[in-house]
């Protein structure tokens, strides 16, 4: 396989994770935000005019998500959206909660998102506002490049919940690369897979900029 992007810590492949994962060996942690199987379509068209990411959807989200192909890949797992396919996951006490309101009022979207884990014994909460154009962290300045983008800070927080630190991380649904960026900043080798070429391009650009950012801070 030829990587779509590669540097000293991160490798990104463009393709279907079901085909690529078996050739990558075993990982210390699988951290990902897969399709939830909820047939979600972002926003709504108003007056026939497409606004921003209105109408965009996620490949594979139109059918119930089966996580079985992810088991046996890593020693530990964190799967965002696990509440949508919990009946196909083992029971867990260690759920992670992303509080997207962070003290602001509720709106017509969910107040939080949930991640299933098989490596924690307690539930933990991360608070960071994420509501339309109002976002906490670097994504506020750089803008959103993926319809269901997760904050880099959230994925960094997830990594911090896992003890000992994993030797290698995989994200089979890499999207715009927040898991890979978080791993790179933490000095953890990581591999990502993304089926949509446009998202691979965005992730590669963000990772390349991240190299410059780290160099400038050194």
Q: CA–CA separation, 25 vs 96, rounded Å?
A: 27
Spatial separation of the C-alpha atoms in residues 32 and 153, rounded to whole Å: 14
Q: Could you report the per-residue pLDDT of 140-157, keeping only the tens digit for each?
A: 556 666 677 899 999 999
Mean pLDDT over each residue of the chain, to the nearest integer = 87
pLDDT digits (tens, 9 = 90+) for 78-91: 999 999 999 999 99
User: How much of the chain exceeds pLDDT 90, in percent?
Assistant: 69
Average pLDDT over residues 172-195: 97
The model's pTM is 0.87
Cis peptide before 50 (omega within 30 of 0): no
Whole-angstrom distance, CA of residue 196 vs CA of residue 193: 9
Judge whether 115 and 158 are in contact, CB under 8 Å.
Answer: yes
Q: Domains of the chain (ranges plus CATH)?
A: 5-37+52-217 (3.40.50.150)
Tell me what pLDDT residue 41 has. 61
Buried b (16+ CB within 10 A) or exposed e, 194-209: bbeeebbbbbbebbee
Per-residue confidence (pLDDT) for residue 50, from 0 to 100: 45
């Amino acid at each position: 396989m030829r990587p779509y992007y590669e540097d000293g810590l991160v490798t990104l492949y463009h393709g279907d994770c079901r085909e690529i994962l078996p050739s990558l060996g075993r990982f210390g942690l699988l951290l990902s935000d897969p399709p939830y199987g909820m047939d979600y379509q972002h926003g709504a068209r108003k007056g026939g005019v497409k606004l921003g990411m209105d109408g965009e959807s996620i490949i594979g989200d139109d059918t119930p998500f089966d996580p079985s192909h992810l088991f046996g890949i890593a020693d530990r797992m964190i799967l965002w959206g696990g509440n949508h396919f919990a009946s196909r996951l083992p029971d867990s006490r260690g759920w992670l909660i992303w509080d997207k309101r962070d003290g602001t009022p509720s709106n017509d979207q969910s107040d939080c998102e949930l991640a299933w884990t098989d490596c924690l014994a307690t539930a933990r909460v991360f608070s960071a506002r994420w509501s339309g154009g109002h976002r906490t962290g670097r994504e506020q300045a750089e803008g959103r490049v993926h319809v269901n983008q997760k904050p880099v800070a959230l994925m960094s927080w997830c990594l911090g919940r896992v003890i000992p630190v994993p030797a290698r991380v995989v994200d089979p649904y890499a999207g715009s690369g927040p898991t890979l960026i978080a791993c790179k900043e933490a000095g953890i080798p990581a591999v990502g897979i993304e089926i949509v070429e446009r998202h691979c391009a965005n992730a590669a650009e963000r990772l390349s900029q991240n190299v410059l950012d780290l160099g400038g801070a050194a």
